[in-house]
A and B are shown apart, each in its own frame.
Chain A
Amino acid sequence: MGGYNTWTIAQARDKLKAREITSEEITLSCISAIDDADALGAFVHKTPDKAVDQARSADLLLKQGDAPSLCGIPLGIKDLFACEGIPTQAASKILNGFKPEYESTVTQNLRNAGAVTLGKVNMDEFAMGSSNETSIYGNAVNPWKFSDKALTPGGSSGGSASAVAADLCLAAIGTDTGGSIRQPAAFTGIVGIKPTYGRCSRWGIVAFASSLDQAGPMCKSVRDTAIMLEAMCGFDQKDSTSSERSVPNFEAMLTGNIKNKKIGIPREYRLDGMSPQIESLWKDGADMLRYAGAEVVDISLPHTKYALPAYYVIAPAEASSNLARYDGVRFGRRAKLNAGESITEMYERSRSEGFGNEVQRRVMIGTYVLSAGFYDAYYNRARKVRSLIKKDFEDVFAAGIDAVLTPTTPSAAFELGKLETADPVEMYLNDVFTVTVNLAGLPGISVPAGLNSEGLPLGLQLIGRPWEEGDLMNIAHTLESATGFVEKPVKWW
């Protein structure tokens, strides 16, 4: 009995619709897997009672025969999404005990589609990090292992990635500001897509860098990401940057036909000292797409090198503004004041006690680049470079390129604790292949493509034209079929 937690969304959906299984059975299977997996640090606020209630309601709908697309599918929710009455603290001490009075649009959309929510999953504090080591809850751990070393699941959506890869849920939601869905997906052998900026409403998602943040699904297959993205996205009056474009039936676009599609291989992504394994995986991916009928051509994205430095101006600048709201007044944690301490001391101590080191560092860098005298030299210059990076992509799309193929990350998952001695810039290099996509507002998807010599998963990234997620997922689906990646981590937890 059991084992339903290992199913994909598509599998579960079909069996639920055929009345061969109930949502309650699948949900209980996930709950027991979650309770058995505390060593992974993936689920940080469990809501099993709520999940079972939701599953029973879903079963009623299924019985009546008018079930929506995700009816009865149990999911993990990144701690960045506000869920009414459920602790939501962006893995930060400063939001200790915060229980939103409202529901984020994305989680509401998922609930409207019938999804069951199992609880909140781990992440880097305020989504700032690439290894899930800046979380107040402690590390999330990768279910994949190499010679007994505990590895990072990546970040910032590390809990989502760990939970999906370890089959604690059928899928999870993450957010991606510089690679936070795609890098952890690659590190854990799952699929993750960041849609076009504006596809998903940001309302109710704890803000990091508003011009870059997007929510997206993290799943066991490309088909699942198509099903889930369609349910998550759409216009929302509460987010003025959300798009009014109609949402297509993404799943119906997974035809497997990529004849005459033009795939670009950007030469600037071939880094000095890149691991030969990643290089050969990339080449194999290009060959597979070619055999499937696509035309593969070399392209140039000349400003790639400047994406990371531009990002590390723009994202902290926006963060310093967004995080100004954590002042110990309206919500969140206030420092205990001594007699005679003023309101300024209350702000300063609440923020220094409540924010972790990386968050403090980024807020201060953001403050600096926005301060009088430096605004033009740093912030405006970075925004100009961002325009150039976007233009790089516009130029190749105008020349007929349908999608760009790159590695997702410069390495496989690394050991937890490895970054402790590294300088901040070294950590930032994890995002080198993913961050361009956020700066240009494009959709990007990571697909597991193989294992390295240590038996750890590696991912390939496909970058698509704006609003063409359907087309992009079709190409990703073709790549997924061609790589035939089916490996799962060996259970040790």
Chain B
Amino acid sequence: MSIDRATAARVAKLARIKVDESSLDILADEFNQILGFIEQLNEVDVEGVEPMTSVSPQKLKRRVDQVCDGDQQERVLSNAPDAREGFFAVPKVVE
């Protein structure tokens, strides 16, 4: 399978990473090198094999569904690039 310019652009868009038009060919090349390497996996007989979900056989722990933390607005916002009046601020999303 070969990745072309258009696919590279689509993947960049999905990943929300801006890639300049002029870099798309190089990116597509790199993808193809990596995917070419990954293609080796097709040699393996995986018939009837379960995909791994957890490397150590353990059940995820459960806890009571109740509030155990909170009231930390200031600390939550302390690293925000733009915080106003207790909120995260972003460019306008609705016209």
**A423 proximal to B (CB < 8 A):** yes
Check: A240 CB closer than 8 A to any chain B CB.
Answer: yes
B55 CB contact (under 8 Å) in A324, A332, A425, A441: A441
State whether A303 touches B44 (Cβ < 8 A): yes
Beyond A98-B79, A312-B34, A330-B80, is A386–B52 a contact (Cβ under 8 Å)? yes
B88 lies within 8 A of A367 (CB): no
Asked if B67 is at the interface (CB within 8 A of a chain A CB), the reply is: no
Q: Is A312 touching B79 in the complex (CB atoms < 8 A)?
A: no
Residues 43-75 of B, flagged 1 when their CB comes within 8 A of A and 0 if not, give 110100111111110101101000000001001
Q: How near does chain B come to A317, taking the closest CB pair, in angstroms?
A: 11
Digitize B63-95: 1 where CB-to-A-CB distance is under 8 Å, 0 elsewhere: 100000000100110111110000010111100
Tell me whether A419 is interfacial, beta carbon within 8 Å: no
A99 at the interface (CB under 8 A from B): yes
Stretch at the interface among A46-54, A286-294, A334-342, A449-457: A334-342
Q: Which of A345-360 contact B (CB under 8 A)?
A: 345-349, 351-352, 355, 360
Question: Within 8 Å CB of A418, what residues of B?
Answer: none
CB <8 Å contact, B15 and A363: yes
Q: How far is the CB of A104 from chain B (nearest CB, A)?
A: 16
- The A231-254 residues at the B interface (CB cut-off 8 A) are 237, 240-241, 243
Interface residue? A396 (CB, 8 A): no
Q: Which chain B residues lie closer than 8 Å to A309 at the CB level?
A: 37-41
* A296-314 near B? 1/0 per residue, CB < 8 Å: 0000000101101110110
Please tell me which one of the listed residues B17, B61, B72, B82 contacts residue A355 in the complex, with CB atoms under 8 A apart: B17
Residues facing B in A365-396 (CB within 8 A) are 365-369, 371, 378, 380-388, 390
**Residues of B with C-beta under 8 A to A98:** 79
Known: A198-B56, A365-B31, A424-B30. A331 touches B80 (CB 8 A): yes
B56 touches A343 (CB 8 A): no
**Closest residue of B by beta carbon distance from A371:** B14
A-side contacts of B90, CB under 8 Å: 329, 343, 346
Give complex CA distance A440, B18 in Å.
Answer: 35
Question: B12 contacts the other chain (Cβ, under 8 Å)?
Answer: yes
- From the candidates A303, A342, A351, A385, name the one contacting B18 in the complex (CB within 8 A): A351
Q: When the two chains form their complex, are residues A327 and B15 in contact, meaning their CB atoms are under 8 A apart?
A: no
Compute how far the CA of A380 lies from the CA of B41 in the bound complex, rounded to whole angstroms: 11
Question: Are B41 and A382 in contact, with the CB atoms below 8 A?
Answer: yes
Question: In the complex, which residues of chain B have a beta carbon less than 8 angstroms from the beta carbon of A382?
Answer: 38, 41
The one of A101, A367, A425 in contact with B37, judged by C-beta atoms closer than 8 angstroms, is A425
B88 touches A341 (CB 8 A): no
Instruction: Encode B1-44 as 1/0 by CB contact (under 8 A) with A.
Output: 00100000001101111110000000100110111011111111
Contact across chains for B79 and A348 when beta carbons are under 8 A apart: no
Instruction: Judge whether B33 and A368 touch: CB under 8 Å.
Output: no
Chain A residues whose C-beta falls within 8 Å of the C-beta of B50 in the assembled complex: 384, 387
- Judge whether A194 is part of the interface by a CB distance below 8 angstroms: no
Across the two chains, which residue of chain B brings its CB closest to A362?
B34
Which residues 187-238 in A have Cβ within 8 Å of B in the complex? 196-198, 211, 237
CB–CB B51/A387 < 8 A: yes
B43, B88, B91: which contacts A337 (Cβ < 8 A)? B91
Residues in B with CB closer than 8 Å to A310 are 41
Interface pair A101/B55, CB less than 8 Å apart = no
Q: How far is the CB of A356 from chain B (nearest CB, A)?
A: 12
In the bound complex, what is the Cα–Cα distance between A196 and B42 (angstroms)? 29
* Cα-based distance from A383 to B55 in the complex (angstroms): 10
C-alpha spacing A324/B3, complex, angstroms: 23
Binary flags per residue of A87-119, CB closer than 8 Å to B gives 1, else 0: 000000000011111000000000000000000
Determine whether the beta carbon of B80 is less than 8 Å from that of A381.
no
- Measured in the bound complex, the distance between the Cα atoms of B16 and A342 in whole Å is 13
Task: Let me know if A384 and B51 touch, CB within 8 A.
Answer: yes
Minimal beta-carbon separation of B24 from chain A (angstroms)? 11
Query: Is A360 within 8 A of B17, CB to CB?
Result: yes
Residues of chain A within 8 A (CB-CB) of B72 are 101
User: Closest CB-CB distance, A90 to chain B, in whole Å?
Assistant: 14
Q: How far is the CA of A382 from the CA of B42 in the complex (A)?
A: 9
Interface centre among A211, A320, A364, A366 (most CB of B within 10 A): A364
B55 touching A211 by the CB < 8 A rule? yes
Tell me which of A243, A330, A355 contacts B88 (CB under 8 A).
A330
B14 partner, pick from A328, A367, A381, beta carbons under 8 A: A367
Cα separation A198 to B50 with both chains bound (whole Å)? 21
Determine which of A349, A368, A378, A390 lies in contact with B11 in the assembled complex, contact meaning CB atoms within 8 Å.
A368
Q: Contact residues of A with B, CB < 8 Å?
A: 97-101, 196-198, 211, 237, 240-241, 243, 303, 305-306, 308-310, 312-313, 320, 324, 327-334, 337, 341-349, 351-352, 355, 360-361, 363-369, 371, 378, 380-388, 390, 423-425, 428, 439-441, 466
**7 nearest CB pairs, A to B:** A441-B55, A383-B51, A331-B79, A334-B81, A348-B18, A384-B46, A352-B18
11 A–B contacts, CB within 8 A, in A order: A240-B60, A306-B40, A324-B16, A331-B80, A332-B81, A346-B90, A347-B16, A364-B11, A381-B44, A386-B51, A387-B51
Given contacts A241-B60, A308-B37, 14 further A-B contacts (CB under 8 A): A198-B58, A320-B15, A328-B81, A333-B81, A343-B90, A348-B18, A361-B27, A365-B31, A384-B51, A387-B49, A387-B50, A387-B51, A388-B46, A425-B37
